[in-house]
Amino acid sequence: MELIKNGGNFIQNEVNEAVKNGTFKAVISGNYEIEKTVLIPSGFYLVLNNCYLRMADDSFCNMFTNENCRTEIGRTKEGTDRNIVIEGKGNTILDGGTYNGLGERNSLKDGNPHISVNNMILFANVDGFSISGLKIRNHRWWAMNFLFCGHGKIRDIDFCSNPIIIDENGNEKIGFQHGPIHDQAPHLVKNGDGIDLRAGCHDIIIENITGFCEDDTIAFTGLNGKLEAMYAFEGASTDMYNLIVRNVNASSYCAIVRLLNQSGVKLFNVLIDGVYDSSRECEYMDMGMFGIRIGDTRMYGTRHATEDECFNITVKNLFTRARDVLNIAGSMKNVRLENIKGFDDYKELIVNNSTLSDEELLANV
């Protein structure tokens, strides 16, 4: 497939012209190589109509961000971008292309930029957004990353991560690898999540998600580390709340849906309804590790969450063949489970390392 070069510059010019003429809407068609990040301003409606957009080789940039992302004004409440829409129509594909070697372990080292440049879509400090109708392929890290964002919808998204890793003998293979290889050669393990909501995200609906992800398909990760510090603004709350996941039919090496909060970040009022495991038909994997994972025994931040920081979590209609259908760890309260089922050769229905009793968890299963 022949790609039009300098596609990022072309799309940005179309966006700028639409702002200039007051329409605040652009419709893009065709096949483009993206060499620079396209910045989407407040109030803008971007339609990608049967597009194929591929990241340029050796590029170190996002495909799309909100306009004020990574700016000084974007780190203020006054700099909040609002009401941004990215809508894919027809067969629209966002392709990460050839992996650029930037990983979590070499981020900000040896002249490398921060790993967040490898998000296909990165929104920070956005209030009101909709992203829909996209097929995302070969993302170089997490495909979509949201920090301090609210009142959003993410729907009708299909993923296919690049599953290739390199073993200790330098041979390519399909599979998931952590451990010594990860430590020694960080660029070999991409941590290919699909959708990540980070600290400060609230009032967001995620629905109709399909495909294969090399790590977690959907992750609500409330931490308070370097990534959050890069994109936080003065007075921003780190609380994560009023989050809904519906109708996910996906396969993941790690978890189809993961919830994790530490370091004082609150995570509450979460509904997960309708998670189905498609790994039986997935050509890249057999059995995943977790259907849904809530909490963790491992420390990722400064301290584990308390019961008053992780609460009001509802999980309904989970059907998975993962090793652990549901894995729960840490302090939490008011967790409701309904219709939790495993199939094929799953190992455990519920692995409970939380402050909740087995009786509390199994009451409605």
pLDDT tens sequence across 103-153: 888 899 999 999 999 999 999 999 999 999 999 999 999 999 999 999 999
Q: What residue numbers bound the domain in which 226 lies?
A: 193-365
Q: Let me know whether 218 and 117 are in one domain.
A: no
Q: Let me know whether 133 and 271 are in one domain.
A: no
Q: Let me know whether 58 and 127 are in one domain.
A: yes
The domain that holds 93 is classified in CATH as 2.160.20.10
pLDDT value of residue 187: 42
SS3 265: coil
pLDDT value of residue 183: 43
Query: Rounded distance, CA 133 to CA 155, Å?
Result: 7
Tell me if 185 is assigned to some domain.
Answer: no
Q: Which structure tokens are listed for 263?
A: 């370091």
Query: Rounded distance, CA 140 to CA 125, Å?
Result: 23
Q: Let me know whether 200 and 148 are in one domain.
A: no
Q: Let me know whether 10 and 156 are in one domain.
A: yes
Q: Let me know whether 206 and 108 are in one domain.
A: no
Tell me if 173 is assigned to some domain.
Answer: no
| Domain end call among 153, 168, 183 | 168
Q: Which structure tokens are listed for 45?
A: 């409606």
The list of the chain residues with pLDDT below 70 reads: 166-170, 175-189, 364
Q: Let me know whether 148 and 211 are in one domain.
A: no
Angle at 160 between CA 158 and CA 164, to 5 degrees: 170
Q: Let me know whether 217 and 353 are in one domain.
A: yes
pLDDT value of residue 189: 58
Q: Let me know whether 111 and 249 are in one domain.
A: no
Tell me if 178 is assigned to some domain.
Answer: no
Q: Which structure tokens are listed for 10?
A: 């072309």
Tell me if 179 is assigned to some domain.
Answer: no
Q: Let me know whether 23 and 156 are in one domain.
A: yes
Q: Let me know whether 263 and 139 are in one domain.
A: no
Q: Which structure tokens are listed for 237?
A: 């709350």
pLDDT value of residue 239: 98
pLDDT value of residue 172: 75
The model's pTM is 0.95
Tell me if 183 is assigned to some domain.
Answer: no
SS3 290: strand
pLDDT value of residue 184: 46
Name the helix (H) or strand (E) containing 317.
Answer: strand 310-320
pLDDT value of residue 359: 86
Q: What is the DSSP letter of 306?
A: P
Q: Let me know whether 201 and 164 are in one domain.
A: no
Tell me if 145 is assigned to some domain.
Answer: yes
Query: Rounded distance, CA 364 to CA 339, Å?
Result: 7
Contact status, residue 90 vs residue 131, Cβ threshold 8 Å: no
What is the number of domains present in the chain? 2
